[in-house]
Amino acid sequence: MIEHSFATWRTRIIKTFPERQFIHRTGGSVSYFVLGTKTQLAMAVAASVLTLWCLFTLFNVLWGQSPLRSSTKELYVQKEHYERYLVDLHEQEKDARNLLKEQQRQFEVAAKTFEEKHNTILAMITHGAFVSNTADIDTTIYAQSNVLMSPLITETVARQHRKQIASNAPMQTGTVLDASLVSFEGQQNTILLTGETKLLNTIATNRAILKTTGIPINDILKHSIDGMGGPYISLAGERKPLDEAGFLPRMDTIKARTAEAAALKDALKSTPLGHPIDAEHYMTSAYGRRKDPFTKRPTMHPGMDIASYHLAPIVATANGKISFSGRRPGYGRVVEIDHGHGFKTRYAHLEKSYVKRGQTVEKGEKIAGMGSSGRSTSTHLHYEITFQKQKQDPNKFLKAGHYVQ
């Protein structure tokens, strides 16, 4: 039975793959080769195996079961892993951006605060209102003169700090600069507190000196050439202050005091507080009602008469510009100085004048020599002070000048 089946398969194979001869003719010569049954059978088996492999591979590719990569389940696991990894990276990036944004805001606050403090300290130093020894007001300099004593007794209410500088929590930016920021901030706060104390003393001193002249301080200051004002109109899109603790507005108050000190300092430079004679002298006639030396009738004397020797040096009592140098009826030879802030001084009955109209002079500078020109009985100086065209008593200004040299 087996031999019969084997013979049957052998017959079928021989019939399917009979011996074949291939004849090849080239250049007049004929050659041939024989392809036997076994060879054909081997080729058929090889072709079948290759076909099956191709079909198997195609099937696996179509159904996601390629033998060249991991299983579908593993791919899904790896895909979820990478998705979680990407989400974590996104959150880390978001946190880093928020941290960077916060640090940038902190640096903007620090930069703005330091800039405001620097400008305020610079303004204090520039206006000459800040010195290291805040308790000593005996060496305060203004108008090229020294304060000899404090006239603060004329102030009925002591000037106080409007608001103490708050001790805010140390600024933390999350960087290595935090320690330096805290150190710088502490030093600047100390300087500002010390400077503000000096500003208050300077302002009070200068106000008291000006008050001694009898002229309202506001009337003097409103005639300054550096006045500013106008309605407040905010800019479109104006950014709000970065300092949430209110420290920058605090800087504005200190700047306001610095500006006030500077304004008072300029006003003192224009106020004729010096003595008009740089020599031994004595007063011969005060300001106000008196008997006229020629007619003996009651008259109004608009100035002060001070006597000394012939050609005694007459000096400017404050900084200013010569507005007139020449002769006037009754006054003889005259020099007049415009000091600004509404103040003018007149020096009359002079023998000689050493200045010309338009010339700038400083306090204590020699401008003339004493004489007896014009309507005069003997050698003396007629000294007048006017404020906004109103005659003032020079004796009040001389008393105020006792606080300075």
The answer to whether the CB of 244 falls within 8 A of the CB of 183 is: no
Give the count of beta carbons closer than 10 Å to the beta carbon of residue 17: 18
147 and 252 share a domain?
yes
Q: Which residue has the tokens 């014009």?
A: 374
116 and 253 share a domain?
yes
Q: Provide CB contacts within 8 A for 160, sequence distance 6+.
A: 200
3-state secondary structure 246-271: CHHHHHHHHHHHHHHHHHHHHHHHHC
pLDDT over 50 (residue 94): yes
pLDDT over 60 (residue 319): yes
Q: Is residue 233 part of a domain?
A: no
Q: Is residue 91 part of a domain?
A: no
Quick one: pLDDT band at residue 181, thresholds 50, 70, 90? low
Q: Is residue 69 part of a domain?
A: no
261 and 298 share a domain?
no
Hey, is 343 helix, strand or coil?
strand
pLDDT tens column, 200-234? 888 888 888 888 888 888 888 887 765 544 444 44
The answer to whether the CB of 242 falls within 8 A of the CB of 251 is: no
Q: Which of 62, 78, 113 represents a domain boundary (last residue)?
A: 62
Q: Is residue 30 part of a domain?
A: yes
Q: Is residue 153 part of a domain?
A: yes
Q: Is residue 118 part of a domain?
A: yes
DSSP 8-state symbol, 232 = -
Q: What pLDDT was estimated at residue 18?
A: 83
199 and 124 share a domain?
yes
The answer to whether the CB of 326 falls within 8 A of the CB of 369 is: no
Long-range Cβ pairs for the range 255-262 (8 Å, 24+)? 255/119, 255/120, 255/123, 257/196, 257/199, 257/200, 257/203, 258/120, 258/123, 258/124, 258/127, 258/129, 258/199, 259/123, 260/203, 261/127, 261/129, 261/199, 261/202, 261/203, 261/206, 262/123, 262/127, 262/129
pLDDT over 60 (residue 149): no
Domain count, the chain: 3
Most confident segment among 156-160, 262-266, 355-359:
355-359
Helices 72-126 and 247-270: angle between axes, nearest 10 degrees:
20
Q: What is the pTM of this model?
A: 0.58
DSSP 8-state symbol, 115 = H
Strand partners, 340: 343
Most confident segment among 66-75, 270-279, 283-292:
270-279
109 and 51 share a domain?
no
Q: Is residue 249 part of a domain?
A: yes
For residue 340, give the CATH number of its domain: 2.70.70.10
124 and 245 share a domain?
yes
Hey, is 31 helix, strand or coil?
strand
195 and 157 share a domain?
yes
Find the domain containing 25 and state its range: 2-62
247 and 320 share a domain?
no
300 and 265 share a domain?
no
333 and 385 share a domain?
yes
Q: Is residue 90 part of a domain?
A: no
341 and 217 share a domain?
no
Mean pLDDT of the region 134-159: 43
Hey, is 312 helix, strand or coil?
coil
Q: What pLDDT was estimated at residue 118?
A: 72
Q: What pLDDT was estimated at residue 250?
A: 66
Q: Which residue has the tokens 């104006």?
A: 238
Is 396 or 26 the better-scoring residue by pLDDT? 396
Hey, is 357 helix, strand or coil?
coil
127 and 256 share a domain?
yes
